[in-house]
């Protein structure tokens, strides 16, 4: 891959030019198989203040498919602005989990983007780094900080969480936090070597949780080469429980997003567009949403609502009343 293409691709991450220059020089010299060396070696702290290892690894892994990377760059340049109909971002992280930026910066960025609302969704538990786990104390502190900035900017903040789908299909949300959050994102971060049938049962049980708004980045743990053909069954589960599916704007989920969009375009499945922000400028990746919006029913896009969480769960209650 040419140097200018590497620069363009890494710039989508939202990190600064100094980091990108260092990364490009490293990969030109050592190759893309050395993500661990890049992250843990010389200037380790320099990298940690820019990007988490999981995010870095995702970008590096994406380099395996040069044609896909070139397509991503082309789409990034095709849509230079975020669609004005998008009123907020459902999936962001703060200093209380693994973001490189803090709560204040994220809310002010959301305000600068013209959003009406922003959801803060730190990890309930991060198996890669338990110090990133969201405790009740952290949740209350984050809420306190966020409400202060929300008052200054006029933006609505949803104080939420990204929960892991555990081995038995339950979500790892502490009860004391569960009673406070307006919704949860449900993420499959680990497969536990389960057969496909058991895996689908885990997802089904998670989607039955009344707090869940969306199933996020389905292809984080699911290898698209193996599970891409199962997307219809996964969407059946999501739709059956009346949940939304996330289209995650990290570029390394792009192929998975295309599969999801193709599956749901003619179905009544709600969609949440999210940047999964781990550094504040990563929120600019919402530009990618335009590529998928063209394929979808706008009535199913939750981000177009000024009060998406309230609207979503109100509809859920109405459906349950009809069923009952």
Supply the DSSP symbol for 199: H
- Residue 324 pLDDT more than 60? no
pLDDT at 173: 93
pLDDT at 313: 95
Six-digit token pair at 139? 């949740």
pLDDT at 320: 56
- Residue 11 pLDDT more than 60? yes
Tens-digit pLDDT profile for residues 200-242? 999 999 999 999 999 999 998 888 888 899 999 999 999 999 9
The residue count for the chain: 324
Q: What percent of the chain has pLDDT over 90?
A: 65
- In DSSP notation, 255-321 reads HHHHHHHHHHTTS--EEEEE--BSSGGGGGGGGGHHHHHTTS-GGGBGGG-SSHHHHHHHHHHHHHH
Orientation of helix 196-207 relative to helix 231-240, angle to 10°: 30
Six-digit token pair at 271? 């969609």
pLDDT at 129: 61
* Mean pLDDT taken over the chain: 91
Q: How far apart are CA 180 and CA 139, in angstroms?
A: 9
- Residue 21 pLDDT more than 60? yes
- Cα-flanking dihedrals φ and ψ of residue 84, to 5°? -65, -20
- Residue 127 pLDDT more than 90? no
Tens-digit pLDDT profile for residues 132-181? 778 899 999 999 999 999 999 999 999 999 999 999 999 999 999 999 99
pLDDT confidence tier of residue 33, bands split at 50, 70 and 90: confident
Tens-digit pLDDT profile for residues 251-261? 989 999 999 99
**Residue among 138, 208, 221, 139 nearest 180 (CA):** 139
- 86 versus 1: which is more confidently predicted? 86
pLDDT at 45: 76
The whole model's pTM is what? 0.92
∠ CA(241), CA(246), CA(247), 5° rounding?
A: 145
Six-digit token pair at 242? 């009346």
Burial class (CB in 10 A: 0-12, 13-18, 19+), 102: middle
pLDDT at 128: 57
């Amino acid at each position: 891959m040419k140097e200018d293409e590497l620069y363009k691709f890494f710039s989508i991450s939202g990190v600064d030019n100094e980091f990108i220059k260092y990364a490009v020089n490293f990969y030109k010299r050592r190759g893309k198989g050395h993500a661990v060396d890049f992250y843990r070696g010389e200037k380790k702290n320099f990298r940690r203040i820019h990007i988490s290892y999981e995010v870095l690894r995702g970008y590096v892994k994406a380099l395996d498919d040069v044609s896909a990377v070139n397509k991503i760059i082309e789409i990034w340049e095709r849509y230079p602005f975020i669609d004005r109909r998008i009123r907020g971002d459902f999936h962001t992280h703060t200093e209380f989990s693994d973001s490189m930026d803090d709560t204040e910066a994220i809310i002010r960025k959301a305000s600068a983007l013209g959003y009406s609302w922003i959801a803060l969704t730190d990890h309930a538990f991060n198996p890669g780094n338990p110090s990133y786990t969201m405790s009740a104390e952290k949740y209350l502190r984050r809420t306190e900080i966020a409400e202060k900035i929300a008052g200054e900017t006029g933006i609505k903040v949803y104080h939420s969480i990204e929960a892991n789908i555990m081995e038995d299909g339950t979500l790892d949300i502490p009860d004391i936090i569960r009673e406070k959050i307006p919704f949860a994102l449900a993420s499959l971060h680990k497969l536990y070597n389960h057969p496909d049938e058991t895996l689908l049962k885990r997802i089904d049980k998670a989607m039955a949780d009344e707090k869940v708004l969306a199933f996020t980045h389905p292809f984080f743990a699911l290898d698209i080469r193996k599970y891409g053909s199962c997307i219809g069954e996964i969407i059946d589960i999501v739709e059956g429980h009346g949940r939304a599916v996330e289209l995650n704007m990290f570029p390394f989920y792009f192929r998975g997003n295309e599969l999801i969009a193709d599956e749901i375009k003619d179905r009544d499945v709600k969609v949440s567009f999210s940047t999964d922000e781990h550094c504040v400028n990563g929120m600019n990746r919402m530009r990618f949403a335009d590529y998928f919006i063209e394929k979808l029913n706008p009535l199913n896009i939750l981000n177009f609502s000024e009060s998406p969480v309230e609207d979503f769960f109100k509809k859920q209650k109405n459906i349950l009343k009809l069923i009952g």
